[in-house]
Structure 1
Protein backbone atom coordinates (compact mmCIF):
# COMPACT_ATOMS: atom_id res chain seq x y z
CA UNK A 1 0.00 0.00 0.00
CA UNK A 2 1.10 3.51 -0.77
CA UNK A 3 1.94 5.55 2.31
CA UNK A 4 0.77 9.14 2.21
CA UNK A 5 1.02 11.76 4.91
CA UNK A 6 -1.61 14.44 5.13
CA UNK A 7 -0.67 17.40 7.28
CA UNK A 8 -3.41 19.31 9.02
CA UNK A 9 -2.44 22.78 10.14
CA UNK A 10 -3.81 25.88 11.78
CA UNK A 11 -3.12 28.98 9.71
CA UNK A 12 -4.69 32.39 9.49
CA UNK A 13 -6.56 33.38 6.35
CA UNK A 14 -3.80 35.96 5.73
CA UNK A 15 -1.12 33.25 6.00
CA UNK A 16 -2.98 31.04 3.52
CA UNK A 17 -3.30 33.97 1.11
CA UNK A 18 0.41 34.74 1.45
CA UNK A 19 1.26 31.11 0.64
CA UNK A 20 -1.05 31.22 -2.39
CA UNK A 21 0.60 34.41 -3.66
CA UNK A 22 4.07 32.93 -3.14
CA UNK A 23 3.06 29.83 -5.14
CA UNK A 24 1.76 32.07 -7.93
CA UNK A 25 5.05 33.98 -7.97
CA UNK A 26 6.95 30.68 -8.21
CA UNK A 27 4.84 29.60 -11.20
CA UNK A 28 5.26 33.03 -12.82
CA UNK A 29 9.05 32.56 -12.66
CA UNK A 30 8.63 29.24 -14.49
CA UNK A 31 9.55 27.16 -11.47
CA UNK A 32 7.67 24.11 -10.24
CA UNK A 33 5.70 24.41 -7.02
CA UNK A 34 6.30 21.53 -4.63
CA UNK A 35 3.19 19.41 -4.24
CA UNK A 36 2.00 19.26 -0.66
CA UNK A 37 -0.97 17.40 0.74
CA UNK A 38 -2.15 19.68 3.50
CA UNK A 39 -5.39 20.95 4.93
CA UNK A 40 -5.40 24.21 6.86
CA UNK A 41 -7.98 25.58 9.25
CA UNK A 42 -8.13 29.17 10.50
CA UNK A 43 -8.34 28.20 14.19
CA UNK A 44 -8.35 25.26 16.57
CA UNK A 45 -12.09 25.78 16.95
CA UNK A 46 -12.58 25.43 13.18
CA UNK A 47 -10.41 22.30 13.26
CA UNK A 48 -12.47 20.78 16.10
CA UNK A 49 -15.72 21.51 14.27
CA UNK A 50 -14.42 19.97 11.04
CA UNK A 51 -12.64 16.88 12.33
CA UNK A 52 -15.09 15.70 14.95
CA UNK A 53 -14.65 12.42 16.81
CA UNK A 54 -17.42 10.88 14.67
CA UNK A 55 -15.67 11.90 11.43
CA UNK A 56 -12.35 10.59 12.69
CA UNK A 57 -14.11 7.35 13.60
CA UNK A 58 -15.46 7.12 10.03
CA UNK A 59 -11.93 7.53 8.68
CA UNK A 60 -10.76 4.70 10.94
CA UNK A 61 -13.64 2.44 9.91
CA UNK A 62 -13.02 3.16 6.22
CA UNK A 63 -9.32 2.36 6.65
CA UNK A 64 -9.78 -0.85 8.63
CA UNK A 65 -13.08 -2.29 7.39
CA UNK A 66 -13.03 -1.16 3.74
CA UNK A 67 -16.80 -0.65 3.32
CA UNK A 68 -18.22 -1.20 -0.16
CA UNK A 69 -20.67 1.71 0.04
CA UNK A 70 -21.78 4.63 2.18
CA UNK A 71 -24.70 2.49 3.35
CA UNK A 72 -22.29 -0.25 4.43
CA UNK A 73 -20.18 2.36 6.24
CA UNK A 74 -23.26 3.67 8.08
CA UNK A 75 -24.09 0.13 9.22
CA UNK A 76 -20.51 -0.45 10.41
CA UNK A 77 -20.58 2.86 12.31
CA UNK A 78 -24.09 2.25 13.70
CA UNK A 79 -25.12 5.69 12.45
CA UNK A 80 -27.85 7.22 10.29
CA UNK A 81 -26.96 6.95 6.59
CA UNK A 82 -27.87 10.62 5.91
CA UNK A 83 -25.45 11.86 8.57
CA UNK A 84 -22.72 9.49 7.42
CA UNK A 85 -23.22 10.58 3.79
CA UNK A 86 -22.88 14.25 4.82
CA UNK A 87 -19.74 13.52 6.85
CA UNK A 88 -18.19 11.53 3.98
CA UNK A 89 -19.03 14.33 1.53
CA UNK A 90 -17.19 16.81 3.79
CA UNK A 91 -14.22 14.46 4.22
CA UNK A 92 -14.02 14.07 0.43
CA UNK A 93 -14.11 17.86 -0.02
CA UNK A 94 -11.17 18.37 2.34
CA UNK A 95 -9.21 15.50 0.79
CA UNK A 96 -9.24 13.03 3.67
CA UNK A 97 -11.44 10.45 1.92
CA UNK A 98 -11.80 9.38 -1.70
CA UNK A 99 -14.73 7.54 -3.27
CA UNK A 100 -14.72 4.95 -6.03
CA UNK A 101 -17.50 3.34 -8.01
CA UNK A 102 -20.38 4.68 -10.08
CA UNK A 103 -23.61 3.79 -8.30
CA UNK A 104 -22.63 2.77 -4.78
CA UNK A 105 -19.77 5.04 -3.83
CA UNK A 106 -17.17 3.11 -1.88
CA UNK A 107 -15.18 5.37 0.47
CA UNK A 108 -11.41 4.86 0.53
CA UNK A 109 -8.55 6.07 2.73
CA UNK A 110 -5.05 5.57 1.34
CA UNK A 111 -2.91 7.02 4.12
CA UNK A 112 -1.82 5.78 7.51
CA UNK A 113 -1.71 8.86 9.68
CA UNK A 114 -2.78 12.48 10.01
CA UNK A 115 -0.25 14.93 11.41
CA UNK A 116 -1.37 18.15 13.07
CA UNK A 117 0.94 21.15 12.84
CA UNK A 118 0.21 24.25 14.88
CA UNK A 119 2.09 27.44 14.09
CA UNK A 120 3.10 29.45 17.16
Structure 2
Protein backbone atom coordinates (compact mmCIF):
# COMPACT_ATOMS: atom_id res chain seq x y z
CA UNK A 1 0.00 0.00 0.00
CA UNK A 2 1.29 3.42 -0.94
CA UNK A 3 1.92 5.94 1.81
CA UNK A 4 0.76 9.01 -0.10
CA UNK A 5 -0.52 12.38 1.05
CA UNK A 6 -2.90 13.85 -1.50
CA UNK A 7 -3.02 17.63 -1.70
CA UNK A 8 -6.05 18.77 -3.61
CA UNK A 9 -7.27 22.13 -4.80
CA UNK A 10 -11.02 21.96 -5.02
CA UNK A 11 -14.14 23.72 -3.82
CA UNK A 12 -15.15 22.89 -0.25
CA UNK A 13 -18.38 21.32 -1.56
CA UNK A 14 -16.38 18.71 -3.49
CA UNK A 15 -14.43 17.74 -0.37
CA UNK A 16 -17.65 17.47 1.63
CA UNK A 17 -19.21 15.31 -1.10
CA UNK A 18 -16.20 12.96 -1.03
CA UNK A 19 -16.36 12.74 2.75
CA UNK A 20 -20.10 12.05 2.62
CA UNK A 21 -19.67 9.24 0.09
CA UNK A 22 -16.95 7.66 2.23
CA UNK A 23 -19.11 7.93 5.34
CA UNK A 24 -22.00 6.22 3.53
CA UNK A 25 -19.69 3.37 2.51
CA UNK A 26 -18.52 2.93 6.11
CA UNK A 27 -22.07 3.03 7.46
CA UNK A 28 -23.03 0.35 4.92
CA UNK A 29 -20.23 -1.85 6.29
CA UNK A 30 -18.08 -1.56 3.19
CA UNK A 31 -14.31 -1.62 3.41
CA UNK A 32 -12.79 1.75 2.51
CA UNK A 33 -9.15 2.11 1.51
CA UNK A 34 -7.23 4.66 3.62
CA UNK A 35 -6.91 8.01 1.90
CA UNK A 36 -4.95 10.85 3.45
CA UNK A 37 -5.61 14.24 1.93
CA UNK A 38 -5.58 17.92 2.66
CA UNK A 39 -7.39 20.46 0.59
CA UNK A 40 -7.33 24.06 -0.48
CA UNK A 41 -10.07 25.97 -2.22
CA UNK A 42 -7.73 28.11 -4.32
CA UNK A 43 -4.25 28.03 -5.78
CA UNK A 44 -3.21 31.12 -3.76
CA UNK A 45 -4.20 29.32 -0.52
CA UNK A 46 -2.10 26.34 -1.58
CA UNK A 47 0.86 28.55 -2.52
CA UNK A 48 0.73 30.31 0.84
CA UNK A 49 1.38 27.00 2.64
CA UNK A 50 3.60 25.25 0.10
CA UNK A 51 6.21 27.92 -0.59
CA UNK A 52 9.46 27.10 -2.45
CA UNK A 53 11.40 27.22 0.86
CA UNK A 54 8.95 24.75 2.44
CA UNK A 55 9.23 22.38 -0.52
CA UNK A 56 12.99 22.55 -0.07
CA UNK A 57 12.54 21.74 3.63
CA UNK A 58 10.28 18.77 2.82
CA UNK A 59 12.77 17.47 0.26
CA UNK A 60 15.69 17.80 2.69
CA UNK A 61 13.82 15.97 5.43
CA UNK A 62 12.86 13.14 3.09
CA UNK A 63 16.42 12.89 1.83
CA UNK A 64 18.12 12.71 5.25
CA UNK A 65 15.39 11.37 7.53
CA UNK A 66 14.55 12.52 11.04
CA UNK A 67 16.67 15.41 12.32
CA UNK A 68 16.36 18.15 14.89
CA UNK A 69 15.08 21.51 13.75
CA UNK A 70 18.49 22.95 14.57
CA UNK A 71 20.21 20.40 12.30
CA UNK A 72 17.63 21.01 9.58
CA UNK A 73 18.24 24.77 9.74
CA UNK A 74 21.98 24.16 9.39
CA UNK A 75 21.50 21.87 6.40
CA UNK A 76 19.22 24.41 4.73
CA UNK A 77 21.49 27.34 5.66
CA UNK A 78 18.49 29.15 7.13
CA UNK A 79 17.75 30.81 10.45
CA UNK A 80 16.48 28.45 13.14
CA UNK A 81 13.42 30.60 13.87
CA UNK A 82 12.25 30.55 10.24
CA UNK A 83 12.73 26.78 9.94
CA UNK A 84 10.93 26.28 13.26
CA UNK A 85 7.97 28.32 11.97
CA UNK A 86 7.90 26.35 8.71
CA UNK A 87 8.01 23.03 10.56
CA UNK A 88 5.20 24.16 12.88
CA UNK A 89 3.01 25.15 9.92
CA UNK A 90 3.76 21.97 7.95
CA UNK A 91 3.01 19.93 11.09
CA UNK A 92 -0.41 21.58 11.33
CA UNK A 93 -1.07 20.46 7.75
CA UNK A 94 0.17 16.90 8.59
CA UNK A 95 3.04 17.10 6.11
CA UNK A 96 5.75 16.84 8.80
CA UNK A 97 5.73 14.95 12.09
CA UNK A 98 7.94 14.64 15.17
CA UNK A 99 9.22 11.33 16.47
CA UNK A 100 9.50 10.30 20.12
CA UNK A 101 12.88 12.08 20.34
CA UNK A 102 11.51 15.36 19.02
CA UNK A 103 13.16 14.98 15.62
CA UNK A 104 11.14 16.03 12.60
CA UNK A 105 10.52 13.88 9.54
CA UNK A 106 8.24 13.48 6.53
CA UNK A 107 6.04 10.41 7.07
CA UNK A 108 4.98 10.18 3.41
CA UNK A 109 6.57 8.27 0.54
CA UNK A 110 5.08 10.79 -1.84
CA UNK A 111 2.99 13.92 -1.91
CA UNK A 112 0.58 13.96 -4.82
CA UNK A 113 -0.58 17.49 -5.64
CA UNK A 114 -3.75 17.56 -7.72
CA UNK A 115 -4.87 20.70 -9.46
CA UNK A 116 -8.00 20.14 -11.53
CA UNK A 117 -8.05 22.77 -14.25
CA UNK A 118 -11.70 23.45 -13.43
CA UNK A 119 -10.54 24.65 -9.99
CA UNK A 120 -8.21 27.17 -11.59
CA UNK A 121 -10.85 28.42 -14.00
CA UNK A 122 -13.43 28.92 -11.21
Give the structure-1-normalised TM-score.
Answer: 0.82
1:62 partnered with 2:54:
no
Secondary structure in 2 matching 1:7 = strand
- Residue among 95, 104, 107 paired with 1:107: 104
Aligned-pair distance for 1:36? 0.9
Q: Report how far residue 20 of structure 1 moved.
A: 1.7
Q: CA RMSD in A?
A: 2.0
C-alpha spacing 1:66/1:30, structure 2 compared with 1 (3 Å): closer
Q: Is the 8 A contact 1:8 1:40 kept in 2?
A: yes
Map of 1:49 onto structure 2: 48
Measured in 1, the distance between the counterparts of 2:75 and 2:8 equals 29
How many residues are treated as equivalent by the alignment?
117
Quote the offset at 1:112 in angstroms: 4.2
Change (3 A) 1:47 1:57: same
Whole-Å separation in 2 of the counterparts to 1:27 and 1:5? 21
In the alignment, structure 2 segments of 5+ residues that lack a partner are none
> Residues 19, 90 of structure 1: CA spacing in aligned structure 2 closer, same or farther, 3 A cutoff?
same
Runs of 4+ in 1 over 4 A off after TM superposition: none
